[in-house]
C-alpha cells in the first residue's frame, strides 16, 4: 500500500457557469487539490479549447495538474498536463506514445483485468468506480471497496476512486488505499460553496487513517 496521503482529484461540473473561473480559483485556494480534470462531454472542440485557455493557467499557477477528458489529440495540441480516457476513448497505447512525459489516466470501472492492462500499457493511474450512486453520469458499473484494497496491496500504479464520493462517505475508500478521490458534486454543489467543499473533503481525508498492507 502507498504510504503517500490520499489527495483530491477535482472534476469540472458538466456545464460551466459564467463565473466558473472565479469559482475554480476559490476552490483551489481553499486546500490541497492534486488534479483538475476538464470534462465537457459533447462540447464542440472550440468551446473546449476556450475553456482550456481560461482554466489551465488557474490550475497550473497553483501546481494543480490540468487533465483533459476524452481527447488525447486535443490534450497534446493544447499542451495540457495529461488526458483521462474512458474505455471507448480511442487508442490508449497511441495516447501513451502521443503524450510522453504527460499524465495518462484510464477508466477501469470495476475490472481487475482492465486495470492490469492499463498498468502494463503505461497508464499513470487507473480509475475505479462508481463506488456510490451519482447524479453526474449514468453509472453502468459498481465497484467494491475490496477492489481498492487488492490493487493497493499488489500494484504501485496509483488508483483513483470515483462515483458519488462525498466527505460523508469517503472514509472507507481512503482507508482501503485510494490514492485520489475524484469528486464533482461534493465540491461544486456544496451548500456553502466550492471552497467549503474542498475544505470538507480534505478534512475528511485527513481524518481517516490508511490501512497497512493486507489490511493488518
What angle in degrees, to the nearest 10, is found between the helix axes of 20-29 and 194-206? 30
CA angle 60–127–193, rounded 5-degree value: 55
Closest among 196, 208, 189, 201 to 136, alpha carbons compared: 189
User: Residue 141: its pLDDT value, please?
Assistant: 81
Strand locations in 110-168 (E): 125-128, 159-162
In percent, the amount of the chain with pLDDT more than 70 equals 94
Instruction: In whole angstroms, give the CA distance from residue 107 to residue 180.
Output: 13
Whether 2 has a pLDDT exceeding 80, the answer reads no
The pLDDT of 89-99, averaged and rounded, is: 94
The pLDDT of 148-156, averaged and rounded, is: 96
Tell me the pLDDT of the chain averaged across its residues: 94
Contacts for 142 with CB less than 8 Å, ≥ 6 apart: 110, 130, 131
Whether 186 has a pLDDT exceeding 70, the answer reads yes
In percent, the amount of the chain with pLDDT more than 90 equals 88
Lowest mean pLDDT among 68-82, 160-174, 198-212: 198-212
User: Residue 4: its pLDDT value, please?
Assistant: 84
The pLDDT of 11-22, averaged and rounded, is: 96
pLDDT tens for 198-208 read 999 999 999 99
Whether 135 has a pLDDT exceeding 80, the answer reads no
Strand locations in the chain (E): 7-11, 35-38, 65-69, 82-85, 103-109, 125-128, 159-162, 180-183
Closest among 66, 113, 67, 120 to 92, alpha carbons compared: 120
User: Residue 216: its pLDDT value, please?
Assistant: 40
Instruction: In whole angstroms, give the CA distance from residue 201 to residue 183.
Output: 9
pLDDT band at 212 (very low <50, low <70, confident <90, very high): low
The pLDDT of 135-163, averaged and rounded, is: 90
26-58: string of b/e by CB count within 10 Å (b at 16+)?
ebbebbebbbbbbbbeebeeeebeebbeebbeb
CA angle 127–129–133, rounded 5-degree value: 145
Instruction: In whole angstroms, give the CA distance from residue 141 to residue 164.
Output: 12
Grid coordinates standing for 84?
483521462
Q: What are phi and psi of 142, to 5 degrees?
A: -120, 120
pLDDT tens for 170-179 read 999 999 999 9
Amino acid at each position: 500500500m502507498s504510504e503517500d496521503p490520499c489527495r483530491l482529484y477535482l472534476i469540472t461540473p458538466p456545464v460551466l457557469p459564467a463565473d466558473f473561473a472565479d469559482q475554480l480559483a476559490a476552490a483551489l485556494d481553499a486546500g490541497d487539490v492534486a488534479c483538475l480534470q476538464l470534462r465537457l462531454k459533447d462540447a464542440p472542440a472550440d468551446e473546449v479549447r476556450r475553456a482550456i485557455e481560461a482554466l489551465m493557467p488557474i490550475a497550473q499557477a497553483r501546481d494543480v495538474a490540468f487533465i483533459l477528458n476524452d481527447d488525447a489529440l486535443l490534450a497534446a495540441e493544447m499542451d495540457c498536463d495529461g488526458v483521462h480516457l474512458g474505455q471507448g476513448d480511442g487508442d490508449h497505447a497511441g495516447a501513451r506514445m502521443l503524450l510522453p512525459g504527460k499524465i495518462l489516466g484510464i477508466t477501469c470501472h470495476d475490472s481487475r483485468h482492465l486495470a492490469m492492462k492499463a498498468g502494463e500499457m503505461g497508464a499513470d493511474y487507473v480509475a475505479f468506480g462508481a463506488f456510490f450512486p451519482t447524479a453526474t453520469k449514468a453509472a453502468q458499473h459498481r465497484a467494491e471497496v475490496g477492489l481498492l484494497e487488492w490493487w493497493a496491496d499488489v500494484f504501485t500504479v496509483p488508483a483513483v476512486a470515483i462515483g458519488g464520493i462525498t466527505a460523508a462517505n469517503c472514509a472507507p475508500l481512503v482507508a482501503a488505499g485510494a490514492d485520489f478521490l475524484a469528486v464533482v458534486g461534493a465540491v461544486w454543489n456544496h451548500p456553502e460553496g466550492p471552497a467549503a467543499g474542498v475544505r470538507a473533503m480534505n478534512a475528511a481525508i485527513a481524518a481517516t487513517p490508511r490501512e497497512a498492507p493486507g489490511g493488518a
